[in-house]
Amino acid sequence: MRTAVPCVVAQASGTRVQAGSEGGRRIRVHRPEGRVPGFRNDVPMMTLAELQAKARWVWQQTLLIHKRAPETRVASSLSPVEALVCLYYGDILRFSPKEPLWEGRDRLIVSKGHGSIALYPILADLGFFPLSELEQVCRPGSFLGGIPDPVIPGYETVNGSLGHGLGVGCGMALALQRRHSSNRVWVLVGDGELHEGAVWEAIMFAGHHRLGNLTLIVDNNSRCMLNDTACVVTLAPLAEKLKAFGWRVEECDGHDLAALHPRLSAIGREPAGQPVALIANTIKGHGVPSLEASPISHVLSVPAGEIDRLLAGDYAGAH
């Protein structure tokens, strides 16, 4: 069902090793054969290098969208690139581009909606909507706004107001559990978003109900809007907090696909007796020096000239 993947920006090509391979070791990514009849995200198995190339492409596209639509929150959208690439291309999330609300899908709630513009190129690439739509972001008539909404195929819920996603995800996870579905619910939040009390109500609820089919990915870029989260209202020690609420907690570099992908992939296939949180330690404005350096990167735009220079340069070395 997937459309071909046209490349708006040239992709780097890599040697073919299987996704999830770390260093030289080959780790086969679990393919949930037969788990759900009609598993539809027939993305070809990717090597780590291919995943990295895809991440680079998504990063580039995110910058290009921002160049055309400077209203988009670029720094916020660059930190979760790798997590989203893992989920969609790393054989983790089950989805169906031509039938976005396909019953057999895994549910991804992008609670930090403002910081998920990186998902636009991914959804377009996978065929949820035409790639040409990426040219229209924030333009009149487009459905791709500055903050994504459920009118976009592939988005489950209303985004923009922080702190809602995990509670809604709890309701979904409960429903899936009740009908013994093997589908999972993934919720992506920002670290600052964890200031919201509503999130802790949901964390408590999920822990109590042992929602093992629920995964929280914290895009832990350590900044909220006006400053470092540690300076505003600290979340440290975050892992201890979540554990004290009955969650299993994992933590890793959120930009290192070799570390991130196996974690997400394992979470996605292992049945858990409790909800799982992955703290993905990331950099806000990843790969854009001016953003990485500023505590108020959240509200910064990247000038078109700087984007051009960045796209001409080397992404991996940018930080």
Ligand X SMILES: Cc1ncc(C[n+]2csc(CCOP(=O)(O)OP(=O)(O)O)c2C)c(N)n1
- Say whether residue 226 binds its own copies (CB under 8 A): no
Distance of alpha carbon 262 from alpha carbon 158, whole angstroms = 30
**Residue 166 or 276 having the CB closest to other proteins:** 166
- Indicate the SS3 state at residue 78: helix
* Mask for 1-40, x = binds other proteins (CB under 8 A): ----------------------------------------
Please count the other Cβ atoms lying within 10 Å of the Cβ belonging to residue 312.
7
The site partner of 221 among its own copies, Mg ion, other proteins, none (C-beta below 5 to 8 Å per kind) is Mg ion
What binding mask, one character per residue, do residues 87-116 give for other proteins by CB under 8 A, x or -?
A: --------------x------------x--
The one-character DSSP state at 3 is: P
Closest CA to 183 of 261, 84, 100, 93: 93
Among 7, 10, 233, 316, binds other proteins (CB under 8 A): 233
Of 96, 74, 2, nearest in space to 290 by CA? 74
- Sites for its own copies among residues 145-204 (CB under 8 A): 195-201, 204
The answer for residues whose C-beta is within 8 angstroms of residue 50's C-beta and 6 or more apart is 13, 14, 16, 19, 89
Closest to ligand X by CB, 46 or 168: 168
CA distance 193 to 311: 30
The phi and psi torsions of 36 (rounded to 5 degrees) equal: -125, 125
Chain residues binding Mg ion by CB under 5 A are 190-192, 221, 223
Chain residues binding other proteins by CB under 8 A are 69, 71, 101, 114, 138-151, 156-164, 166-176, 178, 192-193, 195-198, 201-202, 204-205, 224-227, 229, 232-233, 296, 299
Chain residues binding its own copies by CB under 8 A are 195-201, 204-205, 207-208, 232-235, 237, 240-241, 243-246
